[in-house]
Amino acid sequence: MERVYNFSPGPSILPLPVLKKASAEMLDAYGSGQSIMEMSHRSKDFKPVIEGAENLLRSLLGIPEEYTVLFLQGGASLQFSMVPINLAGTESGSGQKKAAFVDTGVWAGKAIDEAKKYVDVRVLASSKDKNYSYIPAAPAPEKDDVYYHICLNNTIVGTKWHTLPPVGDVPLVADVSSCILSEPLDVSRFGLLYAGAQKNLGPAGCTVVIIRKDLITQAPSWTPTMLRYDIHAKEKSLYNTPPCWSIYIIYLVLQWISETGGLEAMGERNRKKAGILYDALEKSSLFYSPVEKASRSLMNIPFVIREKDEAKKKTIEEKFLKEAAENGMINLAGHRLVGGLRASIYNAMPLEGVDKLVSFIEKFEKKV
């Protein structure tokens, strides 16, 4: 069977060279006579993998020495708890500290709801009034805010922060799950970055955290051991058995990015792919992008059918998805909470896949 073009928002498409290399090494990784999935995480065979992944990530992103890189589990969703506990948690009986948030959609909202269990949350701005179709103007935090949280790219609604909010000396924390490594990023402007691997980094099962070292030792004494950044930093992400296979694939993905020109080249390719699809939607009489132009994502592109009759719209959507799948393009349905259609065109999506989708859109429109 031929491989399809997978437009899933995650777990998402992986680079074909990475899949081929992993397949070739499935039974014998690096001449060890064993699979990565069989290796001890503390063995001499796995050590170059996890260290290599960190070194390549540091090189590609230009991560300064004063930052620690962690390979954790629990997805970005666990970070919704770990961040407030470690950065703003207080000892039992003491008052809550304050943290600033901007509400730009489902994942930002989940981070807000989870943080409310541990800190005094202040929502500085929200784009809920227009169904999260834009990034709102965000005011500066107050001096006693412990951190300032944003979701840099909003996977479900297809928006992205193209200009960071003014935070002053307050550490900026960002969920970068769906945009990490898609273009250059100045890590030094953040106190903490976290990303689930299953979009641009690798397979599900691993979460990368990049944290400034001065923010690591602030967890209260009641913090569960597995939720402490200081424990994971001290043990170099090996406190318990890490997701070895996921880290190995991340290592291969990072090699692929480096070999194909790094983040400057990756950003150019992603802007070209997104531009082609957005241009097609602008010209279409059947489809349109619901996202304001200044806030549009390079990675996740929702599009909606111009039809007021909901029943008829749903019928057209179902026909579109069915015929797209028959033509080798899958996972184009919008998120279950918002509906519509969506193409996630992460790093591994080749230009040919976007061209094929645009051609299909044009042909489909003529038939409807």
* Residue 356 to residue 7: CA distance in whole angstroms: 12
b/e for 121-142, b at 16 or more Cβ within 10 A? beebbbbeeeebbbbbebeebe
Report the sign of the C-alpha dihedral through residues 225, 226, 227, 231, in that order: positive
* Residue 1 to residue 97: CA distance in whole angstroms: 56
Helix axes 262-283, 244-259, angle to 10 degrees: 90
Q: DSSP string of 337-351?
A: TT-SEEEE--TTS-H
Place of tokens 């579109």: 320
Phi, psi of 273 (to 5 degrees): -60, -50
Q: Within 13 A of 97's CA, how many CA atoms are on the CB side?
A: 22
Residues annotated catalytic, as ranges? 107, 175, 199
Cα angle 161, 162, 167; round to 5: 65
Q: Is 355 left (phi over 0), alpha (psi -120 to 50) or beta?
A: alpha
If DSSP codes are grouped into helix, strand and coil, which group holds residue 361?
A: helix
Phi, psi of 72 (to 5 degrees): -115, 180
Tokens of 176: 């970068």
Phi, psi of 68 (to 5 degrees): -105, 140
- Residue 322, number of CB atoms within 10 A of its CB: 10
Phi, psi of 344 (to 5 degrees): -95, 115
The gap from C-alpha 237 to its chain's centroid, in whole angstroms, comes to: 20
DSSP 133: -
Beta bridge partners of 6: 330
